[in-house]
Structure 1
Amino acid sequence: MMAADQTDTDRADRADQQTVYERAEQQVPTAVVDAALAGARDTSYWLDSPDRPSPEPPLTQDTTTDLLVVGGGYTGLWTALIAKERDPARDVLLLEGNEVGWAASGRNGGFVSTSLTHGRSNGLQHVPDEVDRLDELGRQNVEEMRQTLERHGIDCDFEWNGTLTVAIEDHHVQQLRAAHAEDPDTTYFDQEQIQAEIASPLYRAGLWDHHESALVDPARLAWGLKRACLKLGVRIHEHTTVSGLQRTGSGSAARMVATTGGTVEGIPAPPAPLPEETYDGGHQTPQGAAPDAVVTARRVVLATNVFRSLLPTTGLFTVPVYDYALVTEPLTEEQERAIGWDRRQGLDDPDSRFHYYRLTTDRETGRQRILFGGYDAVYHYGRRVLPEYDQRPETFRRLAAHFLATFPQLEGIRFTHQWGGAIDTCSRFFSFFDTAHGGLTARAAGFTGLGVGASRFAAQVLLDLVSGEKTELTELQIVRKRPLPFPPDPIAWAGIELTKREMIRADRQGGKQGLWLRFTSALGMGFDS
């Protein structure tokens, strides 16, 4: 989950009123921000663990399979797991260009949303006839996820505590009251009640949706799914990029042929074979080109998301957007008492440039850490996905100032980790699906920050699509309809920059949208995360 970036030009727009967090950036002393960030590791907190599993060896020889899954994030892992659960006799091969869970699946906030449409209001705009059924399917999806984790013994700290949206500005209070009136199953907190629930001088009200989302440790979810796949017999090869895909034959003899080798922008090169053709599974193996191999498959599922699609006609339907997060050191008992937060909800705020934050238990100390992320959403000209974009000091400083203004009682707190990375956003803000090669290949992309939960639903859709049979899922509008594509740069870049500027202006003007945002909304096209 993310929101729009703030530019120096926007800061200079004196006609607009500054938001609470813009003022916080000026009020929190620079020295305090510097001290809080000093020594923070430039890596995902979730992935920085001694429990990180060793990678499976690269694919080094030609092979055949019933189902080839390209991509070892959540979408690919869920596809492989569900495929084996549906048909244990089916041979399933999963290829990952780096290591399982290394990208968005290992560096997100760990929010498992029940929404398949990036919120009910967005669903009403794009698929109004299906939104009630999709809400049901979304809740069912998270419950089935919970059951799957229990069945396979996947310990990823799953907690279904819901989402608490906190009002930071005066106009947020009215928004939350209206939302509570529409859904009386939620719990509304006035200012006194929200302070008793979670103490922050910025909070003016709150709305708790008890069932909107669960929380997980995202890396442990990916690693647990990997172990479950291997146990069921899925063949997994990491550090193996797929560079080409084509159909051969016709009729019942039609097959897909995938070639491996080469590099993909944004994915580190695979390790070179070690002496004596051994592979030690270490993370420090010298980089080089893995041996080429050819995979012949009956069906293919593409789960590469933000990275280059092997279906060239689909490239304009997503843009890569960079999101950033911080994690604190473990809190002391006194600090935990000073905040409250005993019911451990996931938190966010209603602005266009919104934050997401949550507690997570440190496994060594048993104390609580806080993850704090979002606000800036950064698009780089040319749709580039590059490792150097994962670090953005100006955003880390901004997030640190916002955090310290939110919880000033945590004076002296330090952040141990700071990181970022790309997600794939589409113009309707929720996943879309493609098929190719006469139905032998299916692809999902465009999760726009809510893929932790929706990726499991997408896996079921993808398997139904490549089966060639009509099901309830394949007939849904969200499956049959694509979002509007983004134009190529420089048009896309200019449109995104204008949209971000107008989102900032709307935040400053009490949520009131200008002509540009109303126009793009009417088109069903926007920029969000």
Structure 2
Amino acid sequence: MSTAAPSFWLDSLGPIEKRPPLPGDTVADVAITGGGYTGLWTAYYLAKAAPELRIVVLEAEYCGYGASGRNGGWASGLFPVSEAKLARRYGPERAAAMHRALEASVDEVGRATAAEGIDCDYAKGGTISLVRGPAQLRRARHSPGFLDAGKASAICGATGVLGGLYSEHCAALHPAKLVRGLAEAVERLGVTIHEDTRVQRLERGKVVTGRGTVRATTVVRALESYTAGLAGHKRNLAPVYSLMIATEPLPGEFWQRVGLARRETFTDERRMIIYGQRTADDRLAFGGRGAPYHYGSRVRPEFDQVPEVFDALRRTLTELFGIEAPIAYRWGGPLGIPRDWMPSVGLRDGIAWAGGYVGDGVAAANLAGRTLADLILAQETELTALPWAGHRSRRWEPEPARWLGINTALRATALLDAWDRRRAA
């Protein structure tokens, strides 16, 4: 059993050799901070559209070290703000356009990875949210995509299924294969990547690192949860932890009973988010929220390991599928949450940004990369007219209000789920 690997996904790739760091001061047209999906997709579409640009990507560790190398592997059309809420603020047409663009991004990830020869185990089987209790059934039975118990169980044969909500707009994939393959693809397009180069400060026209300064016409902030560690940005995004486990490969008879034949991703209708997928090598990779937010938006490696959360994930997996599966990996890390839960992309005064995906960033980062490319190239497109373009979330409250508010909300969510279970007993 391995517990020290950054994630199952990264461990499965073998040893990772870092690219050379920034050798000193340099000049570029575009300097991108962050070597995850957002930064790399931005570099990819920029280099495709304008190969003459000098593009530099700066990464503190190595490409995929953050959420891009450890997430649940859902390329989904999910957006943390409902279409109804978007419609009230931006109108129904723009709200619908936002959701259509995200759904199309699921296919764009598949198209682009196939075109670049990135074998990331992409499988567009859709996603199912199981209904497994009376309270969940009351909330879900009139929602779009509702399936009765028989149809839902045929997709995912979990215990106690009363129904389910199915959407075709999701693909399961291997997140580390995607991010590492994408880094190689942008290098082939002429983009320079410097790893082991920690960004200290962003300013108009330059990025200051511990290894030198990059002067650039456009600076891109694509740090997601690590934004909180950047000078002047501590309250922009709250780093909230999500943890995962992965089983050993499971036998054929288990999959005959459970299904997920097209590698549909799965969750259920509880309030505390859980998420899982059947991996290409027949494991269950399963995660959820519930780990505490740390005072002052601190992000530390030791926060990735919370034994009580791992134990809760294992119990949930056992309860879902009626199996005491051997757990091979445990890992976790932070994701970025804006104060209004609204992801955003934008460009102002030479500084571009994207992020705040609230855990649904695999496909959204692709859309963000395409949108940032259009903004940087000063092109007005359907993407630059989407509601999240130019959006600015208000900042999180200072401490201790931020710590109290986030952890109280996490606790309240867990208590509401416990109340639903007691009423169903």
Question: Quick check: TM above 0.5?
Answer: yes
What secondary structure does 2:242 align onto? Answer: strand
Of the three residues 349, 352, 361, the one matched with 1:442 is 352
The correspondence of residues 438-517 of structure 1 with structure 2, limited to 5 A, is 439-468=349-378, 470-510=380-420
The correspondence of residues 49-448 of structure 1 with structure 2, limited to 5 A, is 49-51=12-14, 53-121=16-84, 123-124=86-87, 127-129=90-92, 130-179=94-143, 183=144, 186=145, 188-190=147-149, 192-211=150-169, 213-247=170-204, 256-261=205-210, 292-308=211-227, 312=231, 314-362=233-281, 368-408=282-322, 410-411=323-324, 413-436=325-348, 439-448=349-358
Name the CA distance, whole Å, in 1 between partners of 2:395 and 2:206.
28
After TM superposition, give the deviation of residue 312 of structure 1 in Å. Answer: 5.0
What secondary structure does 2:141 align onto? Answer: helix
Name the CA distance, whole Å, in 1 between partners of 2:280 and 2:163.
26
- Which amino acid counterpart does residue 356 of structure 1 have in structure 2? Y
Name the CA distance, whole Å, in 1 between partners of 2:85 and 2:334.
22
- Structure-2 residue corresponding to 1:284: none
Name the CA distance, whole Å, in 1 between partners of 2:419 and 2:228.
39
Instruction: Tell me, yes or no, if the aligned pair for 1:46 and 1:106 is still in contact at 8 Å.
Output: yes
Alignment CA distance shift 1:187-1:170 (3 Å): closer
After TM superposition, give the deviation of residue 260 of structure 1 in Å. Answer: 2.0
Instruction: Tell me, yes or no, if the aligned pair for 1:57 and 1:237 is still in contact at 8 Å.
Output: yes
Name the CA distance, whole Å, in 2 between partners of 1:444 and 1:125.
23
After TM superposition, give the deviation of residue 303 of structure 1 in Å. Answer: 0.8
- Structure-2 residue corresponding to 1:288: none
1:42 aligns with 2:13: no
Name the CA distance, whole Å, in 2 between partners of 1:73 and 1:147.
19
- Which amino acid counterpart does residue 189 of structure 1 have in structure 2? D
Q: Deviations over 1:496-522 (max 9, x none)?
A: 2332333234334449xxxxxxxxxxx
Instruction: Tell me, yes or no, if the aligned pair for 2:146 and 2:163 is still in contact at 8 Å.
Output: no
Instruction: Tell me, yes or no, if the aligned pair for 1:260 and 1:293 is still in contact at 8 Å.
Output: yes
Alignment CA distance shift 1:204-1:61 (3 Å): same
Name the CA distance, whole Å, in 1 between partners of 2:207 and 2:295.
30
Name the CA distance, whole Å, in 2 between partners of 1:40 and 1:400.
16
Alignment CA distance shift 1:158-1:52 (3 Å): farther
What secondary structure does 1:330 align onto? Answer: coil
For the pair shown, the structure with the greater C-alpha radius of gyration is: 1
What secondary structure does 2:312 align onto? Answer: helix
Query: Structure 1 stretch 133-142 or stretch 345-354: which is displaced more?
Result: 133-142
What secondary structure does 1:493 align onto? Answer: helix
Indicate the RMSD between aligned Cα atoms, in angstroms. 2.2
Instruction: Tell me, yes or no, if the aligned pair for 1:323 and 1:378 is still in contact at 8 Å.
Output: no
Name the CA distance, whole Å, in 1 between partners of 2:391 and 2:207.
27
Instruction: Tell me, yes or no, if the aligned pair for 1:75 and 1:455 is still in contact at 8 Å.
Output: yes
Instruction: Tell me, yes or no, if the aligned pair for 2:33 and 2:57 is still in contact at 8 Å.
Output: yes
Alignment CA distance shift 1:488-1:475 (3 Å): same
Q: Aligned residue pairs: how many?
A: 419
What secondary structure does 2:279 align onto? Answer: strand
Name the CA distance, whole Å, in 1 between partners of 2:411 and 2:91.
29
Instruction: Tell me, yes or no, if the aligned pair for 2:275 and 2:288 is still in contact at 8 Å.
Output: yes
Query: Structure 1 stretch 217-226 or stretch 307-316: which is displaced more?
Result: 307-316
After TM superposition, give the deviation of residue 55 of structure 1 in Å. Answer: 2.1
Paired-residue identity, %: 32
Alignment CA distance shift 1:390-1:125 (3 Å): farther
Give the TM-score normalised by structure 1: 0.74
Instruction: Tell me, yes or no, if the aligned pair for 2:13 and 2:177 is still in contact at 8 Å.
Output: no
Name the CA distance, whole Å, in 1 between partners of 2:369 and 2:228.
17
After TM superposition, give the deviation of residue 398 of structure 1 in Å. Answer: 0.8
- Structure-2 residue corresponding to 1:13: none
Instruction: Tell me, yes or no, if the aligned pair for 1:53 and 1:223 is still in contact at 8 Å.
Output: no
Alignment CA distance shift 1:122-1:506 (3 Å): farther
What secondary structure does 1:178 align onto? Answer: coil
Name the CA distance, whole Å, in 2 between partners of 1:50 and 1:450.
23
Instruction: Tell me, yes or no, if the aligned pair for 2:29 and 2:53 is still in contact at 8 Å.
Output: yes
After TM superposition, give the deviation of residue 319 of structure 1 in Å. Answer: 0.5
Name the CA distance, whole Å, in 1 between partners of 2:85 and 2:291.
19
Name the CA distance, whole Å, in 1 between partners of 2:384 and 2:232.
21
